[in-house]
């Protein structure tokens, strides 16, 4: 059995929405996207080393919907992302062309 590793981007006051860019997730009128601080190469390399190992992904619906539009066109940035098994927590999704 694989270990369960959580990689979560969250602010000190509990915000998880739209860390990457102002346009990433504006649902509910959220206008503070892009809040994640740039990280240095050492931290970035350590995170990517973990992400590059064989894994499965457990995603929330909103994250999955953002990723399914982005990663099929940018797989060179994360080799293997399109091939990993993805589990999506959702009460409304029935399927996706991005498996």
- For the chain, the structural domain boundaries read 1-38, 42-99
Asked if 58 and 87 count as a contact pair (C-beta separation under 8 A), the reply is yes
Which region holds residue 9: left if phi is over 0, alpha if psi is between -120 and 50, else beta? beta
- 27-55 pLDDT, tens digit per residue, is 889 888 877 766 667 777 777 777 777 77
Residue 91, phi then psi, degrees to nearest 5:
-100, -5
Confidence of residue 99 (pLDDT cuts 50, 70, 90): confident
Asked if 93 and 59 count as a contact pair (C-beta separation under 8 A), the reply is no
Q: 86 or 11, which is more confident?
A: 86
* Amino acid 92: pLDDT: 94
Q: Percentage of residues in the chain with pLDDT exceeding 90?
A: 8
Give the number of C-alpha atoms closer than 13 A to the C-alpha of residue 3, restricted to the C-beta side.
Answer: 6
- 62-80 pLDDT, tens digit per residue, is 889 988 998 999 888 888 8
CA distance 17 to 33: 7
């Amino acid at each position: 059995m694989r270990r369960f590793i959580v990689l979560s981007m969250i602010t000190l006051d509990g915000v998880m929405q739209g860390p990457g860019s102002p346009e990433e997730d504006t649902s509910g009128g959220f206008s503070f996207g892009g809040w994640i601080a740039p990280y240095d190469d050492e931290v970035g390399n350590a995170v990517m080393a973990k992400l590059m190992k064989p894994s499965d992904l457990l995603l929330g619906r909103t994250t999955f919907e953002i990723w399914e539009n982005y990663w099929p066109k940018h797989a060179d940035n994360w080799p293997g992302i399109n091939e990993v098994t993805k589990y999506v927590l959702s009460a409304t999704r029935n399927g996706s062309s991005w498996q």
